[in-house]
Amino acid sequence: MDSLLTITQVNALKGILAIWCILWGVVILQVLNIMRMQKKKADAREAAGLPRDPVDESMSRTFHEAGAEVHGENGLQDMTDKENIYFQYLL
């Protein structure tokens, strides 16, 4: 009876480890995908004459007024993340 229980536990452990490996593989692929999308966004910003890596002042300790240099001509329009040249994914 103990050998049957041990075999079941080993099979369950193998299944759990397989699921964890698949999960970490998906996480790594998603990080690589976001890094690729960030690079494409940076290239698009550079092609539009904007800084490649804009400075994010939203989390700084001092107050910064959001003017035209922050929003640009389409910064407040209703666009998807892919269309908005100012959008950045955070890693």
Q: Where residue 71 falls among pLDDT bands split at 50, 70, 90? A: low
Section 24-53 average pLDDT: 91
Interval 20-35 mean pLDDT: 96
What pTM was computed for the model? 0.66
pLDDT in the model for residue 1: 58
**Residue 2 and residue 53 in contact, taking contact as beta carbons nearer than 8 Å:** no
Give the mean pLDDT of the chain: 81
